[in-house]
Amino acid sequence: MTYIEHMKSSKFCVCPRGYEVNSPRIVEALFYECVPVIISDGYVPPFFEVLDWEAFAVFVPERDIPRLKEILTAISEEKYRALQAGVRRVQQHFLWHSVPVKYDLFHMTLHSIWYNRVLNVRPR
């Protein structure tokens, strides 16, 4: 199987913290409809200000890595289906189009910049 086939056939895709701020694996997981399992302490996901990441991803603290199998097998089929439906709902926000489409990555990035800039504005 290829990497993509593995992702497409997996229920969960492990997205560990790397050396960079973000890992492309999270977006790949979303693209292939695999529930991302984010293993990172203090990770701030993209578009956190508008997306409810708990509705489509699983967060595992780094100290719980030895319990990863236990954590994932404890997720009920009903909960998994809800997470996967959440993945499908947010996919549109991570797609780039040559001509921007409402709520796509272009618009989400602009909103994120605007939102974070507004929070940092100090009255004179």
Q: Is residue 57 a contact partner of residue 48, using CB atoms and an 8 Å limit? A: no
Q: Model confidence at 10, in pLDDT bands (50, 70, 90)?
A: very high
pTM of the model: 0.84
What is the per-residue pLDDT across 93-121, written as a single tens digit (0 to 9) for each?
Answer: 999 989 989 989 998 999 888 887 777 76
Q: Is the dihedral of CA 35, 39, 44, 46 positive or negative?
A: negative
> Once rounded to an integer, what is the mean pLDDT over residues 13-38?
87
Task: Give CA angle at 23 (63, 44), nearest 5°.
Answer: 65
**Average pLDDT score over the chain:** 90
Helix residue ranges, H only, 44-120? 68-73, 77-90, 105-119
Whether the pLDDT of residue 22 is over 80: the answer is no
